Amino acid sequence: MNETMNLLLNRRTYRDFDENYTLQEEELQQILTAARQAPSWMNGQFYSIFVIQDKETRKQLVDWNPGNPHMLKSSVFLIFVGDLHRTQLVSEAYGTENVTGESIEPILVATTDASLALENAVIAADSLGLGSVVVGSIRKHGKEISELLALPEGMFPLFGLSIGKPVVEMKVKPRLPEQAVVYYDKFTPYDFSLIEEYDDTMEKFAEARETKKWSIKFRDYFSAQPTMIIDQLLEMKKLFHR
């Protein structure tokens, strides 16, 4: 197995970091450059990356999201935002109408581009002997974070990334059975027992932060009212088209 494959197959999430470790400027720059080199639809690069250095800002983020104290304790915290503001500037420069608010497609494209950049940053951090954890729950406070970062119209926060030197060793987390994820040429139905099998696997894995079975966790999540920033954006589009 080559070095890259070994890195990918052994990737894991770290949530506990050495608070005294300072990320070197060269390391941060390598991570940011790797993120920006990710694939992007039409090379549009519909995202931006905010390096959150101010401690008070990071404390505020933890106050809103107390389940993720690493946002303050990690060496660096990045916020990836969907960026449709840049295309608005382009439209204004050419004196043309910008209709990104009339379709969900630009939000999907921006989210995809930001996700690809995020994954590049995760792998780059791993390659430098660092650890990281993705924070998607910042979207619950998307409006507040937008104000905190002074985001202009067309920018919306998607996820954060804590990066630092791990102090607790983590195990590689098991994934769903391949038969429930990978298809060749067309969809093939699978028995729900595969999900139950995965529930058992995750219970044996016994990650302390998990208090519910995998299937129960997502049963509950998708039966609750949506609260994320994307839901707010979609609701705004509904109002726009009334």
Above pLDDT 90, what percent of the chain? Answer: 84
What pLDDT, in 10s, does the model give residues 73-104? 999 999 999 999 999 999 999 999 999 878 88
168: left (phi over 0), alpha (psi -120 to 50) or beta: beta
C-alpha 183: how far from its chain's center?
Answer: 25
Quote the pLDDT of residue 234.
62
Domains of the chain plus CATH, in order, are 3-172 (3.40.109.10)
Global pTM value? 0.92
Quote the pLDDT of residue 102.
83
CA distances from 166 to 43, 125, 140, 179 (A): 34, 11, 26, 33
* Alpha carbon distance 102, 209 (integer Å): 40
Quote the pLDDT of residue 241.
42
What pLDDT, in 10s, does the model give residues 8-52? 999 999 999 999 999 999 999 999 999 999 999 999 999 999 999
| 237 C-beta neighbours (distance < 10 Å), count | 13
- 230 confidence band (pLDDT: 50, 70, 90): low
* Alpha carbon distance 165, 23 (integer Å): 8
- 116 confidence band (pLDDT: 50, 70, 90): very high
* Alpha carbon distance 155, 100 (integer Å): 12
Q: How does DSSP assign 63-119, residue by residue? A: HH-TT-THHHHSSEEEEEEEE-HHHHHHHHHHT----GGG-SHHHHHHHHHHHHHHH
Whether the CB-CB separation of 242 and 236 falls below 8 Å is answered with: no
What pLDDT, in 10s, does the model give residues 184-226? 999 999 999 999 999 999 999 988 778 889 999 989 888 877 7
96: left (phi over 0), alpha (psi -120 to 50) or beta: beta
Q: Is residue 228 exposed (0-12), middle (13-18) or buried (19+ Cβ within 10 Å)? A: middle
For the cut 70, the answer to whether the pLDDT of residue 239 exceeds it is no
